[in-house]
Amino acid sequence: MTLVAPVVSTIQVAAIPAGHPYVRNVVAGTGVGLLPDPPPPGATDGRWWPPVMCDAAWVAAHADRFDVMHIHFGTESYPTAHLRSLVRALRAAARPLVYTLHDLENPQLTDQTTHREHLDVLVPAADEVVTLTPGAAAAIERRWGRTAEVIPHPHVLPLDAHAPAGTGSDPYVIGVHLRDIRPGTDAVRAVATLLDAVDRLRAQGVAATGRVHVNERVRDEAARAQVQALIATHPGAELRRTERLSDDALARSIADLDVAVLPYRTGTHSGWTELCWDLGVPVAGPPVGYASEQHPEDFAVFGSGDGAALANAVRGLVAGAPRPGSAARRVRLADRRRQRLAQAAAITAAHTALYERVA
């Protein structure tokens, strides 16, 4: 993407959701104004879902407050008819709609039927469609005949935050974060594949350890129990079961890895891949969606359930990557920060130009 100077703008955007870090990052430092997320009834501090602005009645009552509506996340809170009403209300109010298609498959859902219906409403109705990778753009063209503008995913680690270099260890640490085991996480197969890869690496003379992080509170207790049983009988693996990690603690836990393994069953893009890139940690992932296009120089694909392929992917990744805690890892972090600063300017300029165009 060509780096251009940001456009000075006073456009007001009803971004859904305005409070999400992705959404804030794509307009940071511009003249674009984001309407704050109205709190849903009964919501605790900071909760934006279900998104109140994603509603025909809200649009009719507040159309004078915004110039553009930009939907990113959160439509799974509503039935398809609700979105059709929203589109009609935007047309009646002469307010354009921008839609960033993050997910062709929603990793928060088991049944994708309603999500696909939502895409069939939003993609044809949007005045502009945005996505994050060329592969996703090609899929959008095939399915809906729409040309999507490709704007890469911005940084996830804040640009003013400390980037931990990790703690060194003798064995290579290959880790997977299962977090709360959402529907798109293939927890048991991911861990079984990781342990198989560790066995194979050790048999090849490569000192390796498998590290699995999982939250204390999860959505799939049975899957976590299976994961625990797998790790309990494996001499080269460790389980770290904790409360949900803070952003800083999460960054430190990733920084300690030599390779991060993605446990995806479904999905299209990966914010996790972006955070790993910010932290200088290479990623191995199954062929799910287009995450491999986000940073292809630092991403190795392996077949789901194929421990031999994961072992090969790990060997290739660690051969070209600085280890946690090393001076070379610190150099990589500084270089990545410089790249992210330049990319941030390009991403915000692209969004500003997009809003100017539709408004």
Q: Do 104 and 203 lie in a common domain?
A: no
The CATH number covering residue 48 comes to 3.40.50.2000
Whether residue 178 lies inside any domain: the answer is: yes
Q: Do 129 and 232 lie in a common domain?
A: no
Looking at the structure of the chain, the number of domains it has is 2
Query: What's this model's pTM, rounded to 2 decimal places?
Result: 0.95
Q: Do 150 and 176 lie in a common domain?
A: no
Q: Do 178 and 317 lie in a common domain?
A: yes
Range of the domain at 198: 172-325
Whether residue 239 lies inside any domain: the answer is: yes
Q: Do 138 and 278 lie in a common domain?
A: no
What one-letter code names the amino acid at 163?
A
C-beta separation of 28 from 348 below 8 A: yes
Whether residue 136 lies inside any domain: the answer is: yes
Whether residue 275 lies inside any domain: the answer is: yes
Assess whether the previous peptide bond of 36 is cis (omega < 30° from 0).
no
Q: Do 138 and 240 lie in a common domain?
A: no
- Strand 12-16 relative to strand 259-261, pairing: unpaired
Identify the pLDDT of residue 92.
98
pLDDT in tens, the chain (359 residues): 444 444 445 899 999 999 999 999 999 988 899 999 999 998 877 789 999 999 999 999 999 999 999 999 999 999 999 999 999 999 999 999 999 999 999 999 999 999 999 999 999 999 999 999 999 999 999 999 999 999 999 999 999 999 999 999 999 999 999 999 999 999 999 999 999 999 999 999 999 999 999 999 999 999 999 999 999 999 999 999 999 999 999 999 999 999 999 999 999 999 999 999 999 999 999 999 999 999 999 999 999 999 999 999 999 999 999 999 999 999 999 999 999 999 999 999 999 999 999 99
Q: Do 304 and 354 lie in a common domain?
A: no
Q: Do 266 and 303 lie in a common domain?
A: yes
Q: Do 321 and 351 lie in a common domain?
A: no
Q: Do 184 and 291 lie in a common domain?
A: yes
Q: Do 62 and 109 lie in a common domain?
A: yes
Whether residue 337 lies inside any domain: the answer is: no
Q: Which residues contact 202 (CB under 8 A, 6 or more apart)?
A: 208, 236
Q: Do 259 and 353 lie in a common domain?
A: no
Burial of 359 by CB count in 10 Å (0-12 exposed, 13-18 middle, 19+ buried)? middle
Whether residue 161 lies inside any domain: the answer is: no
Identify the pLDDT of residue 318.
98
Identify the pLDDT of residue 46.
79
Residue 74 falls in which region: left (phi positive, over 0), alpha (psi -120 to 50) or beta: left
> How far, in Å, CA of 63 to CA of 316, rounded?
53
Whether residue 218 lies inside any domain: the answer is: yes
C-beta separation of 185 from 285 below 8 A: no
Whether residue 231 lies inside any domain: the answer is: yes
